[in-house]
Amino acid sequence: MLNQADFRSPQTRPVFPEDADDAHPRCREMAEAMRDLFAVGGGVRGKDLVGAGFTWAEIAEFRDAAAKLASTASVRQVNARPDLMADIIEKARAPLPNRPPLPRDTKETQARLVDWGRYCTARAALVLDPWPGQRERCLGLLSLYLNRLPIFPANREAVIKAVEQTLPQVAQ
């Protein structure tokens, strides 16, 4: 009678089975099919995978690993680039409270968001009810926000002048 130890390989496995590179080719195919099905229909069901050419046995064997591979392949890291001068001018001309201009070496802090929100509010109020005091308040709040950014004074003035041209003209 043969002993079970006779069938074991003396070699050890160099990689873990959880490694993405060691995935079964059919598992990788299922992961791509899952990504495609999710993009089209917003979800992946067993019968969708059967329709894509997989057997129920393959689905049972590879479903979890393929879902993990599909999820890993679908995640994309996005790093926002710092705002250039043209971006700062554009954001100041059409301000949105959740998109403050942030040049290089500038972090989005609570104080900056509050200052930017004040400018956005003043700008919206000026559009609804233009009067000279509100126009000056709007420019003052923009200047306050820009003074806290690490940009040159000449650039601050250029932004303020560009924004001033787009503000509604009001009679005194």
Q: Is 170 helix (H, G, I), strand (E, B) or coil?
A: coil
Cα–Cα distance measured from residue 58 to residue 81, given in angstroms and rounded to the nearest whole number = 43
Give the model's pLDDT for residue 137. 96
Cα–Cα distance measured from residue 60 to residue 66, given in angstroms and rounded to the nearest whole number = 11
pTM score: 0.56
Give the model's pLDDT for residue 1. 52
Provide the CA 27 distance to its chain's centre, in angstroms. 29
Which phi and psi (to 5°) does residue 84 adopt?
Answer: -85, 175
Give the model's pLDDT for residue 149. 94
Give the model's pLDDT for residue 84. 94
Which residues of the chain, if any, have pLDDT below 70?
1-21, 76-79, 172
CA atoms within 13 A on the CB side of 44: 21
Domain residue ranges of the chain, discontinuous segments joined by +? 19-74, 85-166
H or E element: which one contains 72?
helix 56-74
Give the model's pLDDT for residue 55. 92
Give the model's pLDDT for residue 9. 53
